[in-house]
């Protein structure tokens, strides 16, 4: 695990000592391609106007077989107010992205987790994402304010450190790299929290999952865990009825 602490992005207008006291984001990223990490995530973080710490976990050798254990461990070393779990190929779209996200989250009722893409009943996919090569916008409309959703996409998720200390990633149900955020969002709902998509845009190079078998295996376990609490699980790639899966 590599901890780069702290990151300040652009030169701040206030005194450095004052900036250090404003500890907002601990950014946690597992990477398997350092070039993509530098090209997308780190390049966009260097432009940010608020301080942050960056915690990176090198998985280029494939030593980590599941997301939940390594991310839970990384979160324990985080020092700042919000934990942002983010993919290596995500680029924040503006220099005020972190500042805007922090401002929005402080106003959200019952906040559990916040992200950039999710799904809710009836309205379908809600997103602040451009992805793929060539880039294309994801979602049916651009957001002007945060929107409550059932689950979030795993490319980026933010949760308050105190909330994560109460509800961390489930290491038993999801024992791989798919849908750990989906399961986490459902766990948050069971604890009385709400999940939101923020109106702050990102670019995500990847456009989807690569192994349908592993994906469905993860979803089957999530359905078993939550079938008594929800009738339908809504994700950014589809929806699953829980009652018919017995």
pLDDT at 138: 85
Residue 173, in any domain of the structure:
yes
pTM: 0.90
Residue 117, in any domain of the structure:
yes
pLDDT at 13: 39
Residue 233, in any domain of the structure:
no
Q: Could you tell me which residue, 138 or 54, shows the higher pLDDT?
A: 54
pLDDT at 244: 60
Average pLDDT, the chain: 88
pLDDT at 15: 34
Query: CA-based Rg of the chain, rounded to a whole angstrom?
Result: 17
* pLDDT tens, position by position, 177-236: 999 999 999 999 999 999 999 999 999 998 665 667 777 888 999 999 999 999 999 999
Report yes or no: 80 and 53 within 8 Å, Cβ to Cβ.
yes
Q: Please identify which residue in the block is written with the tokens 């973080």.
A: 45
* CATH number of the domain residue 126 falls in: 3.90.550.10
Residue 203, in any domain of the structure:
yes
pLDDT at 216: 84
Domains identified in the chain, total number: 1
Q: Could you tell me which residue, 44 or 15, shows the higher pLDDT?
A: 44
pLDDT at 8: 47
Residue 138, in any domain of the structure:
yes
3-state secondary structure the chain: CEEEEEECCCCCCCCHHHHHHCCCEEEEEEECCHHHHHHHHHHHHCCCCCCEEEEEEECCCCCCCCHHHHHHHHHHCCCCCEEEEECCCEEECCCCHHHHHHHHHCCCCCEEEEECEEEECCCEEEECEEECCCCEEECCCCCCCCEEECEECCCEEEEEHHHHHHCCCCCCCCCCCCCHHHHHHHHHHHCCCEEEECCCCEEECCCCCCCHHHHHHHHHHHHHHHCCCCCEEEECCEEEECHHHC
Residue 223, in any domain of the structure:
no
Q: Which of 106, 240, 129 is nearest to 186 (CA)?
A: 240
Residue 225, in any domain of the structure:
no
Residue 237, in any domain of the structure:
no
Query: Which residues lie across from 27 on neighbouring strands?
Result: 54, 84
Q: Categorize the per-residue pLDDT at 237 as very low, low, confident or very high, splitting at 50, 70 and 90.
A: confident
User: Which tokens go with 107?
Assistant: 């106003």
Domain span at 152: 2-208
């Amino acid at each position: 695990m590599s901890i780069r602490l702290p990151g300040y992005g652009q030169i701040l207008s206030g005194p450095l000592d004052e900036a250090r006291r404003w500890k907002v984001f601990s950014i946690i990223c597992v990477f398997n391609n350092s070039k993509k990490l530098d090209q997308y995530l780190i390049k966009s973080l260097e432009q940010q106007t608020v301080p942050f710490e960056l915690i990176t976990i090198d998985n280029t050798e494939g030593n980590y077989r599941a997301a939940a254990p390594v991310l839970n461990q990384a979160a324990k070393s985080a020092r700042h107010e919000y934990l942002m779990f983010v993919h290596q190929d995500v680029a924040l779209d503006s220099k005020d992205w972190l500042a805007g996200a922090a401002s929005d989250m402080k106003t959200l009722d019952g906040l559990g987790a916040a992200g950039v893409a999710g799904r809710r009943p009836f309205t379908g996919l809600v997103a602040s994402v451009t992805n793929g090569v060539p880039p294309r916008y994801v979602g049916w409309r651009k957001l002007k304010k945060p929107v409550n959703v059932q689950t979030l996409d795993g490319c980026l998720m933010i949760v308050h450190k105190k909330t994560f200390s109460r509800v961390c990633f489930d290491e038993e149900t999801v024992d791989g790299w798919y849908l750990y955020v989906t399961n986490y969002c459902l766990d948050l709902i069971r604890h009385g929290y709400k999940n939101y998509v923020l109106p702050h845009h990102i670019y995500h190079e990847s456009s989807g999952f690569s192994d349908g078998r592993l994906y469905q295996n993860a979803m089957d376990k999530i359905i078993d865990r939550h079938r008594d609490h929800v009738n339908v699980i809504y994700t950014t790639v589809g929806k699953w009825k829980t009652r018919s899966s017995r």
